[in-house]
Structure 1
């Protein structure tokens, strides 16, 4: 609508046409001429007072109401910035209670090891290493990282593995931006050890990064900081299965979600980071109750509202959850209970027990939830676990027990377990901690859940992790939602040459 047309419509709405307006103007001019001098002075003062009030109100609105942000062209990973990624889901999100209004970009990012090859033509998702590198290079104010350990540099292996270059690039970019002193870098890591030394973070601290380590044994009696999280400028973040390790970019199969231009969700994950930051301070202890400053704006009951669904972030262990934060286990159980068609799970380790140095017991919580979904609601349950040289020797036996539940004769129960394993040629031995499907996600007909934890009691009760939960019911929309994309990833892996029946390993 042009400016002239809008004015014309406003005039007509007030009952004024060009002819009537001219007549009204003449009447007002005559009235002004007939006024005495004192009346004119009074009218002038009245108008001046009204003008001052209007200007004051305008200034208050300017300072108290945040200006509109033009996010039509979000700062993002370069492929998304150019609009060339087929897998990014852009949604406008609004939450009336918080005033949030962002043009959020949700993107699945994957690491597909160099030795892994698929036969289908599905467009690849952005790769983890370049996505993280782009976040770092575009940072302007802050970078916050929560991690299990750091091994990004090429000298981590002898002889040097050429596939470690992506990790070296990420390290160099972080080191350079820290050395320049214009971006504040905060890192919380698990307590370093001989197995997981702090070589990288010592160098980053020398370059200006503020580094803290969390001692889980002292805080909760066991467990680790298993979170894998990057947060940049209070706007963009990554959460998923990829450790801060060059292997996670080229030698280990990973999956995560990159969220961009989403200040409200970024503020929510920042509160999780601040919990870590406080607990990693010297002589810290887990408080009996957390300050409301750490409480989230969104959770299972009041999620972040988007055009295509809802989102919230969960956390573990429960003792790290301030009031209002949904515990990670509760989020998973809620997603399972609401499925009515299928539940697809891809996770490296699945164990129905809690096992710490001083404590061990059977823990059937997830088993029971999956059996209930399959038996009571006739939901198809497919569980894809990983096998590599570090797998627990009893894991597949426990899973055989779970799958046997699906062999019910009287009641049809559709529950199947398969094993994802990388092929290893006779002349090629995998490097340490490589060539494994490290994914930790679940997708149902209603939800996408992407986490940082393996599925056993240890991880949900004694280990720090984060879950990203998005509800997006099935749709016939031609543009695939993030949930649908995640479903396709699972089906691709489930039907690939790397997926094998559990019976191949347990008979």
Structure 2
């Protein structure tokens, strides 16, 4: 037994080299520091440890909603898949729901490996057939209906090693239940879509979040949120409207543009209007985005926003790995916000059209000074690093290199 416990502790990262745990009741902040950077978060556990620990503890059921799947032989992420496999072999029921369009970014052998796990049911859902547009962009899972994980980390080996990511391990019973309900709705939606049926909306009016709570879940799209889950698009506007002094935001990308047919980018002013209104009230905004945000036309909107008094915008470029170019990696991908040092927002949405209106995404709002302060500190570390450079409003930025050299 002692040898077993020691082996388990080593697997889960428990020991002298393990990170401390930063948490408030019901919520643990989890973070990925990209390898070979000067960034460090010794008080935050890594998702590899947390995911393996949660899957190892599963006794009855694991449900996962993910955008895509990508593994790589020899990477530490193999441990995550191994823990899922071990759970299935000991009789845990596993249901995995993945976005159909996510196949383009996926590693098909890894999908096949997951599909072979005992007690695993793996389904694809084209979410645009639910909403008319959009994708499953949420990244989450629920274990035994008692614990869950929500964050920017995709089911991707790069998200655990070469991308700046932030998420939350949750044990808050009410929110875990809501996440399970969201999964069950989308799981059933897949069945309806597969049989050629339409998915009836759950809401015809916008559902406001009960923001009297210290912590609550909001999600999108509003029409397909279960009872008690507020609309994330509406809540984001409300939070920005209530900001008094300062707002810190970190994103992969930001643009007041949606995604239309024929690669068009229709105007989407919802978030941009809310930020401009906050600036007009005298709120200071520090907006940090990845270098992927320099593609056109998004960069032009960022340059326009940067001209307004009260806002600072920095673009973060992480150094290439010593092993060479890694497609779709070496980037900041966290989606976080801290308001007035009192409110933290941690979620799965990029701030552009298509995410908070048509796609399945999840956001946690925590009215907790300790968590808000830590999220702000996490922002400040990257903001003040050599990787973050103020936007140049006159520069003609070259297209970012994402998937190939």
TM-score range, shorter chain: 0.7 to 0.9
- 1:286 Cα deviation from its structure 2 partner: 2.4
Return the structure number with greater helix share.
1
Separation of aligned partners in 2, 1:116 and 1:177? 34
8 Å CA contact retained: 1:286, 1:320? no
8 Å CA contact retained: 1:315, 1:467? yes
8 Å CA contact retained: 1:130, 1:166? no
Q: Measured at CA, do residues 420 and 88 of structure 1 come closer, stay the same or move farther in structure 2, by a change above 3 Å?
A: same
Question: Where do residues 265-280 of structure 1 align in structure 2 (5 Å cutoff)?
Answer: 265-280=175-190
Question: Where do residues 190-269 of structure 1 align in structure 2 (5 Å cutoff)?
Answer: 190-191=99-100, 193-196=103-106, 198-207=108-117, 208-260=119-171, 262-269=172-179
8 Å CA contact retained: 2:63, 2:95? yes
Separation of aligned partners in 2, 1:337 and 1:80? 42
Q: 2:246 aligns with which of 342, 346, 350?
A: 342
Separation of aligned partners in 2, 1:487 and 1:80? 27
Separation of aligned partners in 2, 1:392 and 1:110? 27
SS of 2:275 mapped into structure 1 = helix
Question: Where do residues 94-493 of structure 1 align in structure 2 (5 Å cutoff)?
Answer: 104=26, 106-118=27-39, 123-154=42-73, 162=74, 165-180=75-90, 182-191=91-100, 193-196=103-106, 198-207=108-117, 208-260=119-171, 262-281=172-191, 282-283=194-195, 284-289=197-202, 300-301=209-210, 304=213, 310-358=214-262, 360-376=265-281, 378-388=282-292, 392-406=295-309, 414-424=310-320, 429-445=324-340, 446-472=342-368, 474=369, 481-493=370-382
Q: Measured at CA, do residues 424 and 371 of structure 1 come closer, stay the same or move farther in structure 2, by a change above 3 Å?
A: same
Deviations 1:349-390 (A, max 9, x none): 1011112225642112111111111112x11101000014x8
SS of 2:279 mapped into structure 1 = helix
Q: Measured at CA, do residues 144 and 81 of structure 1 come closer, stay the same or move farther in structure 2, by a change above 3 Å?
A: farther
Separation of aligned partners in 2, 1:303 and 1:274? 26
Unaligned runs of 5+ in 1: 1-76, 92-103, 155-161, 305-309, 407-413, 475-480
1:50 is aligned to none
2:401 is aligned to none
2:5 is aligned to none
Separation of aligned partners in 1, 2:201 and 2:209? 23
- 1:323 Cα deviation from its structure 2 partner: 4.6
8 Å CA contact retained: 1:216, 1:223? yes
Separation of aligned partners in 1, 2:156 and 2:325? 16
- 1:177 Cα deviation from its structure 2 partner: 1.7
Separation of aligned partners in 2, 1:126 and 1:300? 29
CA RMSD of the aligned region, Å? 2.7
Q: Measured at CA, do residues 362 and 447 of structure 1 come closer, stay the same or move farther in structure 2, by a change above 3 Å?
A: same
Separation of aligned partners in 2, 1:197 and 1:393? 28
Deviations 1:64-101 (A, max 9, x none): xxxxxxxxxxxxx967999x86543243xxxxxxxxxx
Unaligned runs of 5+ in 2: 1-10, 397-405
Separation of aligned partners in 1, 2:120 and 2:20? 35
- 1:319 Cα deviation from its structure 2 partner: 2.3
Separation of aligned partners in 2, 1:368 and 1:349? 17
1:13 is aligned to none
Deviations 1:472-495 (A, max 9, x none): 2x4xxxxxx111111110111111
Q: Measured at CA, do residues 504 and 457 of structure 1 come closer, stay the same or move farther in structure 2, by a change above 3 Å?
A: closer
Q: Measured at CA, do residues 287 and 254 of structure 1 come closer, stay the same or move farther in structure 2, by a change above 3 Å?
A: same
Deviations 1:114-136 (A, max 9, x none): 12113x7x634111122111111
8 Å CA contact retained: 2:320, 2:330? no
Q: Measured at CA, do residues 466 and 363 of structure 1 come closer, stay the same or move farther in structure 2, by a change above 3 Å?
A: same
8 Å CA contact retained: 1:227, 1:465? yes
8 Å CA contact retained: 2:64, 2:97? yes
Q: Measured at CA, do residues 503 and 148 of structure 1 come closer, stay the same or move farther in structure 2, by a change above 3 Å?
A: same
2:386 is aligned to 497
Q: Measured at CA, do residues 391 and 218 of structure 1 come closer, stay the same or move farther in structure 2, by a change above 3 Å?
A: farther
Q: Measured at CA, do residues 197 and 114 of structure 1 come closer, stay the same or move farther in structure 2, by a change above 3 Å?
A: closer
4+ residue runs over 4 A deviation: 77-82, 84-87
Q: Which moved more, 1:132-141 or 1:278-287?
A: 278-287
